Structures are given as C-alpha cells and as structure tokens.
C-alpha cells in the first residue's frame, strides 16, 4: 500500500472547474458525469496534491495524513 496521505473529494461541492485535473492530473480525473475524483484514495505525499486542494474554488478537496490524522489541506468535509 502507498501510505502517507488520503484524498477526499466532496462531490456535492465540486463544481467541475477542472482546476485539480489541470494542476495535478496524476491524482485527479474527471468521471463520466464531469465531476472530479481522486485516481487513488491513498497517495504518497506530493506538493501537487496540496496545491490542487488549495486552488479548488469550492474547497472540495481534503488531504489527510493517514498516520497522524492531521489535516494537511482542509476541504469542505473537514472545516470546523
């Protein structure tokens, strides 16, 4: 298993701007109904993922550290 980070995407919030696919196409893809989804849920740490999360206009992407549970990049699913 590739450890490290878990990607979560709030599909209800996604507005299909394709920003994440444009910035980090290795990690995000568009599905048939045009919403984004992570290609894999668990990934090794990579700045491109955090960049994509911070650039998402809907804050739909969350990045969590699987060991510590720390929120690396807070998306709508992880905002207090």
Partner 1 sequence: MAGADQRKLSFPFPDTSGSELPSEFARLREEQPVARVVLPTGDEAWLVTRYADVRGVLTNPLFSRAAAEAPGAPRIGHSGPGPHTILGMDPPDHTRLRRLVAQAFTARRVEELRPWIEKIANSLLFAVNVAPRPVDLIATYTLALPLKVIFELLGVDYEDRDKLHAWAEVIFSLNAHSAEAVAKARGDLNEYLRTMIDARRRKPTDDLVSALIAARDEGDKLSEDELVDFVLILLTVGHMSTANNLTSAIFSLLRHPDQLARLYENPELVPDAVEELLRYNPFTLTGTQLRVAVADVEVGGVQVHAGDAVVAALGAANHDPSVFADAGTLDLARDPNPHVAFGYGAHHCLGAQLARAEMQIGISALIRRLPNTLRLAVPEDWLTWRLGLTARSLASLPVVW
DSSP letter for 34, please: S
Looking at 1-9, 17-25, 37-45, 64-72, which segment touches partner 1 (CB under 8 A)? Answer: 17-25
36 binds ligand SF4 (CB under 6 A): yes
User: Contacts with partner 1 in 40-79 (CB under 8 A)?
Assistant: 47-48, 51-52, 54-55, 57-59
For the beta sheet containing 61-65, the strands, ordered from the edge strand earlier in sequence to the opposite edge, are 42-43, 5-9, 61-65, 71-73
Q: How far apart are CA 33 and CA 24, in angstroms?
A: 19
Which residues of this chain interact with partner 1, rule CB under 8 A? 15-19, 21-25, 34, 47-48, 51-52, 54-55, 57-59
């Amino acid at each position: 298993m590739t450890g490290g980070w878990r990607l979560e995407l709030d599909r209800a919030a996604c507005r299909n701007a394709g920003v994440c696919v444009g910035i980090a196409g290795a990690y995000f893809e568009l599905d048939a109904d045009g919403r984004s989804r992570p290609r894999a849920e668990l990934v090794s740490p990579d700045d491109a993922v955090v960049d994509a999360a911070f650039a998402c206009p809907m804050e739909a992407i969350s990045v969590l550290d699987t060991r510590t549970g720390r929120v690396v990049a807070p998306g709508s699913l992880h905002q207090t």
